[in-house]
Amino acid sequence: MTVPTCLTVTRPAAPLSGTVVVPGDKSISHRALMFAGLAIGETRIDGLLVGEDVLRTAAAMRALGAEIRRDGATWYVVGRGIGGLTEPEDVLDMGNSGTAARLLCGILATHPLTATLTGDASLRRRPMARVTDPLVRFGARFMTRAGQRMPLTVRGADVPIPINYVLPVASAQVKSAILLAGLNARGDTQVTELSPTRDHTENMLRHFGAKLGVTTGAEGTQITLAGQPELRAAPITVPGDPSSAAFAIVAALLVPGSAIRIDGVGINTLRTGLFTTLAEMGADIAFTGHRLAGGEPVADITVRQTALRAVDVPAARAPSMIDEYPILAAAAAIAAGTTRLRGLQELRVKESDRLTATAALLAANGVAVAVEGDDLLITGQAGPLPGGGSVATHMDHRLAMTGCVLGLGARDPVTIDDMRFVDTSFPGFIPLMNRLGAGLATPCA
């Protein structure tokens, strides 16, 4: 279906119910295409997220010389090998995807070629220094706009130098960019992270045959990568994205009497902070059918509507749920008591300033909310929230979907100003929610 620009969401007349499968994990989909493009041989990928962000990654890897074709739901990638990418003939447009742009900078930093990356208006506002600063140490050169923003041009190092780098902030994107750069640098590249972040890159490095060592001690976790391995093609099945499943899960918690199941969701422990937090809030969530897919743990998730209570979420949990804070805020809005979400500074450099925008989203719909430094305080309604307001999405797909879920649990209709960016991460969001009974079909008057 065509995604409406503006949408009005009302509370459904009946509980949400049914079983669905959410699209493939976006983080893993990006990496699958990139690693397959760097491997020798043909990699088969099943379950790839066919969203705008991932399609931009596929286009970029094609422009760099990888052969990529699609046969129904299955993708095939013939890689160029480490160091074998070719200079693109045109600018690489990464659309709205900060993950694709930052990880690709890592790959390009140690290939002796010149490439220019750009993106949409939202991505061009996002800072790139946290990635470009360490990549310069490999010998790469970057030319950017003021504030080290895109568009940017990278000239990869002719003779890359491996580096040791301590992450100043918990960021899987920065860690991954450095490891991707280290693939084409002779010798060992080492990254130290003080707080754990999602480890999809490490899992995929092992899956394709790279030599990787991980040690954890008092000074954090050290990841050591042996440079210039010969990556070999290996089949990948992408699990369902837990960040996408989050919207259906919270919707079921907001709509009285709801009971739904979501099959085949990735439950990597470095991505399940939201599930842990919702369980602490009293949510009825069960995990069954545990299995592995492409080296990642997967399960089926059943959730039933339950009354929620406020919690104090520690900052240390942020890396495991950084994309889920807006939808968690919607759950906190109906809980009993005041929820404090701590240490959300990373939200300020997402597709939008998500911290400020999430607070505004709640306030516009009758929820008492405050931002104290990098913390978000939400006074829950202990039941349905008032609603009746408008959600300004700021070209941010997660704010748009959070607004929809908020509307399902509100007494009065909620208007979302722009739904066009939802397909960047969750193609088919509206039809999937409607299969559960959400009734998302009313364009703004």
Q: Give the catalytic positions in this structure.
A: 323
List the one residue out of 249, 254, 239, 296 whose CA is nearest residue 275. Answer: 249
Which amino acid, residue 51?
G
Q: Rounded to an integer, what distance in angstroms lies between the CA atom of residue 76 and that of residue 36?
A: 9
DSSP 232: B
- Report the SS3 class of residue 311: coil
Using CA atoms of 129, 161, 63, 133 in order, give the dihedral in degrees to the nearest 10: 0
Continuous segment of H or E residues that includes residue 300:
strand 296-304
Q: Rounded to an integer, what distance in angstroms lies between the CA atom of residue 50 and that of residue 284?
A: 31
* Beta-bridge partners for 313: 341
8 Å CB contact between 410 and 388: yes
8 Å CB contact between 34 and 48: no
Q: Rounded to an integer, what distance in angstroms lies between the CA atom of residue 199 and that of residue 208?
A: 15
Q: Which pair of structure tokens corresponds to residue 361?
A: 């989203």
Q: Which pair of structure tokens corresponds to residue 107?
A: 């790959």
Q: Which pair of structure tokens corresponds to residue 253?
A: 């918690």
Q: Rounded to an integer, what distance in angstroms lies between the CA atom of residue 305 and that of residue 108?
A: 47
* Beta-bridge partners for 149: 127, 145
